[in-house]
Structure 1
Amino acid sequence: MKVLFHYAAGARLREEVARFATLGLEVVCCAEGSEQPFLAELADARVIWHVLQPITADVIRQAPKLELIQKIGVGVNTIDLDAARSRGIAVCNMPGTNSRAVAEMSLLLMLSALRRQYCVERSCRTGKWVVDAQVRESLGELCGRTVGIVGFGEVPRILAPILEAMGARVIYTARSRKEVAYPFVSLRELLQVSDIVTLHVPLTAETEKLIDRSRMALMKRGAILINTARGALIDEIALHVALVSGALGAAGLDVFAHEPAVATNPLLALDNVAVAPHLAWLTNETLGRSIDVAVRNSLAIRDSVALEHRVV
């Protein structure tokens, strides 16, 4: 059975997935962004292992044999679920496989923003040992700060105790109160009292631009905004204004409203923004766990048995 892995796999990973031929799975790797090779391979694929490049209704129309879209990760906003449903194509995700990696990246972005790591490293690499006074006077510690977590799923459950162990005060908001020891507050209160706000909710019609100009205005002056969830949760134009004006002190962004983010995105030019190219989820350990789930579901679709974490 042919499986199309839509990902720029390196030699080691290609060698690893080739071993699944012994299970009857022909895994073909095709880099994201390679449209024509992807569509050519798609024609006879029964399964797609999908990472980030959108699976649109048009893509689905060009996949006559497709039976399963397996998301490598959690968020399925990059898949046209209605088009899949109308074709009877199953869609599955894999909650929990990348939670630790995302939690660690969220922490890294917080520390990078607090310590202005981009400015400090650039200064050091260019031979400027004494960092500008403005940067030195903006450096801070996590200990003693209030971190507000928006959403409280798998990632926050890992992240919160780490933050607490480092001396931060943790509060959270979510659609409903969770059975955790941290104070549950409204989004409004969280924004008003937090020194750092970190986003951990899915992108839906309700959460698009959740953090817009009006909500940024509620945040403490000099607060830090972290996003490892989905870029469109934030109004990027409003964020740029807030960062330039000093209303917000810094941001840490692994995700952007439009990806891949282009060099002309004004947020990338700011010294008070720590960035990464949507790889919070990506570690060797995450890939190993993810491929295990993807293989099990691919075999399940072949053998007509129940799928894990079915969304559609």
Structure 2
Amino acid sequence: MRVLLHYDMEFPGADGLDVVSCPQEDDERFAELLPEAEVIWHNLRPLTAADFDRAPKLRLVQKLGSGVNTIDLDAAEARGIAVANMPGRNAQAVAEATLLLMLAALRRVITFDARTREGRGWPAGGALVGGELKGRTVGLLGGGQIAGLVRGTLEAIGARVLYTSRTRRPDDPAWRELDDLLRASDVLSVHIPLTDDTHHLLDARRLALLPPGAIVVNTARGAIIDEAALVAALSSGRLGGAGLDVFEQEPVPPDNPLLALDNVVVMPHVAYLTRETWDRYFDTAVENCRRLAAGEELLHRVR
């Protein structure tokens, strides 16, 4: 079975699979490989109807991760191409990266890193004093596996954790309606999928509900937050900082105004990127290829 791994990563090999890799940014090579592909192991570069039309043998798009917003699901379904994802396979890595971004924003790591490299030594005065998670209220936008892992760690170090979710849980004392969650959150962390309903869910009005000096962390999808509104809130000092792994446009362009702010910590959508995550990805991807060949039900089929 010919598998197109749409990422510049070495695959350790598996019986019955002919896996060829292609960097996500190499569209020319990708187009050359599509005609023979029976399965695409998909990461982040969007897959369109035009891509599917170049792949007459394609039977399965296997998302390496959970979010399928980068796949034209209707076009895949119309062509008889199955789509599956991997919920939870990157949860540990993303949860740890979330904590990394929270702490980096609170402790002003970017500013201190720059000062240290410039030989500026210890800061004078209290302008650069950081903060601790212990004693702060952290609001989690989402109640899934990643949010659960983040919650457990935060509570272990003394933070108060609240959350909201699509399913109302009024009997849980930690659950809040979205606007009430925002009003209470010294740190807000995003853990929901991008859908039509969640696009720009955190707009100017909702960002204004956060307490002055609050920190916003996003390891989910960039367009859940209105970036223009976030830039305005950060630039004015209304918000204290942000830790962002995702952006509305990816790869993030160098002129994105968020990159010019020294109270913003950024990563290029790599919260999931650990060796352990890739081992789990490959295990699931190989199993679904086996199931596809055997005519068995796929794991975590989306369409």
Deviations 1:83-133 (A, max 9, x none): 000011100000111001000000000000000101111111221112364
Among 129, 137, 143, the alignment partner of 1:146 is 137
Q: 1:247 aligns with which of 238, 241, 261?
A: 238
SS at match of 2:21: strand
Query: Does structure 1 residue 124 correspond to structure 2 residue 116?
Result: yes
Q: CA deviation at 1:202?
A: 0.3
CA distance in structure 1 between the partners assigned to 2:5 and 2:283 by the alignment: 13
Instruction: Find the aligned partners of 2:138 and 2:290 in 1 and give their Cα distance.
Output: 42
Q: How does 1:47-126 map to 2 (within 5 A)?
A: 47-126=39-118
What is the Cα deviation at residue 182 of structure 1?
Answer: 5.5
Mapped to 1, the partners of 2:126 and 2:25 lie a distance apart of 41
Q: 1:214 aligns with which of 201, 205, 208?
A: 205
Q: Which residue identity lines up with residue 85 of structure 2 in the other structure?
A: N
Residue pair 2:65, 2:89 contacting (<8 A) in 1 also: yes
Structure 1 residue 303: deviation in Å? 1.7
Change (3 A) 1:134 1:37: farther
**How many percent of aligned residue pairs carry the same amino acid?**
51
**Greater helix proportion:** 1
**Residues 213 and 235 of structure 1 are in contact (CA less than 8 Å); yes or no, is this contact kept in structure 2?**
yes
TM-score, length of structure 2 as denominator length: 0.97
Aligned to 1:282: 273
Tell me the distance in 2 between the aligned counterparts of 1:147 and 1:69: 36
Query: TM-score, with normalisation over the residues of structure 1?
Result: 0.95
How far the C-alpha of 1:147 sits from its partner, in A, is 0.2
Aligned residues: CA RMSD: 1.4
Q: Contact 1:195–1:224 at 8 Å: present in 2 too?
A: yes
Structure 1 unaligned residues grouped into runs of 5+: none
Structure 2: gaps (5+ residues): none
CA distance in 1, matches of 2:127, 2:55: 53
Q: Name the aligned partner's letter for residue 209 of structure 1.
A: H
Please say if residues 44 and 63 of structure 1, whose CA atoms lie closer than 8 Å, have aligned partners that are also in contact. yes
Cα deviation code 1:277-301 (max 9, x no counterpart): 1000110000000100000111211
Measure how far apart 1:136 and its partner are.
2.0
Change (3 A) 1:132 1:258: farther
In 2, are the aligned partners of 1:103 and 1:155 still within 8 Å (CA)? yes
Is structure 2 residue 290 aligned with structure 1 residue 299? yes
Give me the whole-angstrom Cα distance separating, in 2, the residues matched to 1:179 and 1:26.
51
The yes-or-no answer on 1:5 pairing with 2:12 is: no
- Residues 146-185 of structure 1: matches in 2 within 5 Å? 146-177=137-168, 183-185=174-176
Q: How many residues align?
A: 303
